[in-house]
Amino acid sequence: MIKFILKRLGISLLVLLGGSLLMFVLTINSGDPLEDYRESNDRNKEQIIAAITRNLRLDDAWYERYWEWLRGVSGCVVGKCDLGTNINGNDVTVLLGNAAGSTLRLVFIATILAIFIGIAVGIVTAIRQYSGFDYVVTFLTFLFFSLPVFWAAVLLKEYGAIRYNDWIADPQISPLQAIIAALVLAFVLQSVLGGDWRRRLITGGVTAVFVFAALTYFTSVGWWRAPALGIGIVAVVAIATAVGLTALVAGLNNRRVLYSTLTTVAVGIVSYYAVSPLLEAPTIVVLLVLLVVAIAVGLVSGYFWGGYSSRRTAMSLSAITAVVMGLLILVDRAVYAWAEFLNLKPRPISTIGSSTPNFRGEYWESILDNATQLLLPTILLTLISVASYSRYTRSSMLETMNQDYVRTARSKGLSERVVIVKHAFRNALIPITTIVAFDFAALIGGAVITESVFGWKGMGELFRTGLTAVDPAPVMAFFLVTALAAIVMNMLADIAYAFLDPRIRR
């Protein structure tokens, strides 16, 4: 395996070298960086042209400029990166650090959400093949996949920002709107859960009544402007997570695993009050320590409850439950700050920029500001990726579920949960892993348009301004990050193959 990885790294570096040379040559030959300045009537025209010529080293041959850039990049191996200067004489390494932080934050969150949502939807549609739910999801995924990014971004800005900001000033949901929302969610849930007509009717009816009552109650108490979760909702969601994970992976008949995850939730409920003072204005170190403690609690609970046969499963599920519980506590704390955030920023969803200039909120208000700035571009990139993940997951699951070993597992009397989770899904993950590797790098490239529409100061703007000005340094910095992301993700995919299919290790 190590020999295979080293071979792949060597090939990837050669591809990276050839791609960088091609990108550099194409960029410097895409136009004349001095064209606008030669036609200028500015009295300092000659000084400006001389400065740009010096910054871009236009008097040197192209191979000398490329070699100088390559030397600077090679210094990154020892932590001394020198990516050159842009047309204005600014250090590109500093510009890349700021731009990459914004873009990678956006792309990483969108990728994680797309993986979980897309795979879950793909599995359900494979199980409910040719059902009404399958047809609806198929239509929506093809719609999202074919949507022009710029057009979808404009729609999100109109309905997700402008009209939402108008609504949140005096949030009201009429009974008719509540009925429509309840019926839509009831239809979706009964389609996902399936069953005979009686089970579908009960599921849809309960869902419709619950959603209608919740929307009516939230509107009457003004919850939309002053929301609160509280320990009750946190506990209910955490318990549902614990029971759902246990039912999906181990089965509810495995009492040891169920008790382990529920014990983790109980400890989390107690710690809800204990960690409250630490969450007033936590640092990254504090949050990391709390994360480690939460995982440790889950592992200890699984170790003692799991017994000899189920210890590993109990420990892993309890650790996941602990992380979910911790995230719920953080979300609860952020929700409490929403009312004050609206006082500081009456129109919370911005359409331009990655942060609000001169925002004067406290810790949690600043977190909400960054989150609302991330919201729309993240939704856009997630919808596009979900379409791919759900389709590939569906086709891979359908192919796997028709294999002989799956039929053999069913003939042995194994439950459908075991057949799908432990036999079909694991083998179906291999082609999906490949898509994840390519999609991450593709999202960075696709973020160019998204960032342009939403006015993000990220790598998209760095690439676009560099290409417009025929400035190779910013363009090459964008290429370097994108290419390295593709290489790293493909390497992780190769390693994941070995874990998913032991035959690949040989």
Distance from C-alpha of 319 to C-alpha of 294, rounded to nearest angstrom: 7
Instruction: Summarize pLDDT for 242-282 with one digit per residue, the tens.
Output: 999 998 888 888 899 999 999 999 999 999 988 888 888 88
Say how many C-beta atoms besides its own lie within 10 A of residue 257's C-beta.
29
Mean pLDDT of 138-142: 85
Mean pLDDT of 36-46: 77
φ, ψ at 449 (rounded to 5°): -70, -45
**Are residues 69 and 84 in contact, defined by beta-carbon separation less than 8 angstroms?**
yes
- Of 67, 31, 117, nearest to 378 by C-alpha is 117
pLDDT, residue 505, reads 57
pLDDT, residue 503, reads 64
pLDDT, residue 504, reads 62
Distance from C-alpha of 435 to C-alpha of 455, rounded to nearest angstrom: 28
Residue 31 in this model has a pLDDT that exceeds 90: no
CA dist 395 → 416, 478, 490 (Å): 19, 34, 22
Provide the residue type at 225 as one letter.
R
pLDDT, residue 428, reads 83
Confidence band for 1, pLDDT divided at 50, 70 and 90: low
**Are residues 269 and 326 in contact, defined by beta-carbon separation less than 8 angstroms?**
no
pLDDT, residue 441, reads 74
**∠ CA 304-274-258, rounded to 5°:** 30
**Helix or strand run (H / E) with residue 59:** none
φ, ψ at 321 (rounded to 5°): -60, -40
Confidence band for 303, pLDDT divided at 50, 70 and 90: very high
φ, ψ at 320 (rounded to 5°): -65, -40
Helix (H, G, I), strand (E, B) or coil at 172: coil
Residue 12 in this model has a pLDDT that exceeds 90: no
**Are residues 471 and 56 in contact, defined by beta-carbon separation less than 8 angstroms?**
yes
pLDDT, residue 296, reads 95
Residue 39 in this model has a pLDDT that exceeds 80: no
| Orientation of helix 2-28 relative to helix 62-74, angle to 10° | 140
**Are residues 72 and 82 in contact, defined by beta-carbon separation less than 8 angstroms?**
yes
The mean of the pLDDT values for the chain is: 86
Bridge partners of 85, per DSSP, are: 91
Least confident window among 101-110, 390-399, 432-441, 497-506: 497-506
Residue 213 in this model has a pLDDT that exceeds 90: yes
Mean pLDDT of 110-138: 86
Confidence band for 502, pLDDT divided at 50, 70 and 90: low
pLDDT, residue 429, reads 82
**∠ CA 382-383-386, rounded to 5°:** 80
pLDDT, residue 55, reads 82
Distance from C-alpha of 231 to C-alpha of 35, rounded to nearest angstrom: 64
Tokens 């025929």 identify what position?
470
- Of 428, 447, 455, nearest to 384 by C-alpha is 447
Confidence band for 8, pLDDT divided at 50, 70 and 90: confident
Confidence band for 506, pLDDT divided at 50, 70 and 90: low
Instruction: Summarize pLDDT for 307-364 with one digit per residue, the tens.
Output: 877 888 999 999 999 999 999 999 999 999 999 999 999 999 988 877 788 888 888 9
Distance from C-alpha of 268 to C-alpha of 372, rounded to nearest angstrom: 27
What pTM value is reported for the model? 0.83
